[in-house]
């Protein structure tokens, strides 16, 4: 009788130990997943700031009478497309679509900025100069937010993939998250040309 009580207590102790470990692991996964979501929210917040700033510069540009309408229309359309993409951080395809929409917006806006060289009156307006300063800061914030997101994803993915956490992650329904990837072709050095006469 005494031996069976000790065995029962030992089994109960092992069970409680595994239950405690399982609860701790589950809470770790939840904390990690919430960290990923928070980091992604920061990325979206900074992209929203960029979109809002682009909206401001579009209004500034529209106020200038002699501007190239096709370039401005491309930015307006890219901005609208970028705000329409729905993102699910658990779906790598939607993350890729979001990245592509943001790259299209940034590309069309770069063409808009380049065309300002032809319009010195616009370049010297206070609103445009303020915008250039703000957009530079916003691009830096976006870059930091994407790095923070990828760090949160790395931490979460390691907890989901490492043994023995991977056993519980599958049991609890936690899976890897997608990283924010660089735009296609960004690994190539840009071709910079100066038109010096």
Q: Cα separations (Å) of 61 from 1, 78, 83, 132, 151?
A: 89, 16, 20, 13, 38
**pTM, entire model:** 0.61
DSSP annotation of 125 reads S
With tokens 């760090």, the residue in question is 151
Cα(7)–Cα(12) distance, rounded to whole angstroms? Answer: 8
pLDDT tens, residue order, the chain (197 aa): 677 888 888 888 888 888 888 888 888 888 989 999 899 888 888 888 888 877 777 776 665 544 556 666 777 777 777 777 777 777 778 778 888 888 877 777 777 776 666 666 555 566 667 777 888 888 888 889 989 999 999 999 999 998 888 888 888 899 999 888 876 655 555 554 444 44
Domain boundaries, the chain: 43-172
């Amino acid at each position: 009788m005494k031996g069976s009580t000790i065995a029962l207590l030992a089994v109960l102790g092992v069970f409680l130990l595994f239950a405690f470990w399982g609860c701790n692991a589950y809470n770790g996964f939840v904390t990690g997943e919430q960290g990923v979501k928070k980091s992604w929210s920061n990325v979206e917040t900074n992209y929203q700031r960029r979109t809002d700033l682009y909206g401001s510069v579009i209004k500034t540009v529209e106020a200038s009478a002699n501007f190239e309408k096709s370039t401005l229309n491309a930015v307006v359309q890219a901005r609208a497309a970028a705000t329409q993409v729905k993102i699910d951080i658990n779906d790598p395809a939607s993350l890729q679509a979001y990245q592509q929409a943001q790259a299209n917006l940034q590309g069309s806006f770069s063409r808009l900025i380049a065309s300002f060289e032809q319009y010195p009156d616009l370049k010297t307006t206070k609103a445009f100069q303020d915008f250039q300063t703000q957009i530079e800061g916003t691009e830096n914030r976006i870059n930091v937010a994407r790095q923070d997101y990828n760090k949160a994803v790395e931490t979460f993915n390691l907890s989901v993939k490492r043994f023995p956490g991977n056993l519980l992650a599958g049991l609890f329904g936690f899976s890897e998250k997608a990283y924010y990837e660089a735009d296609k072709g960004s690994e190539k050095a840009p071709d910079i040309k100066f038109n010096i006469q």
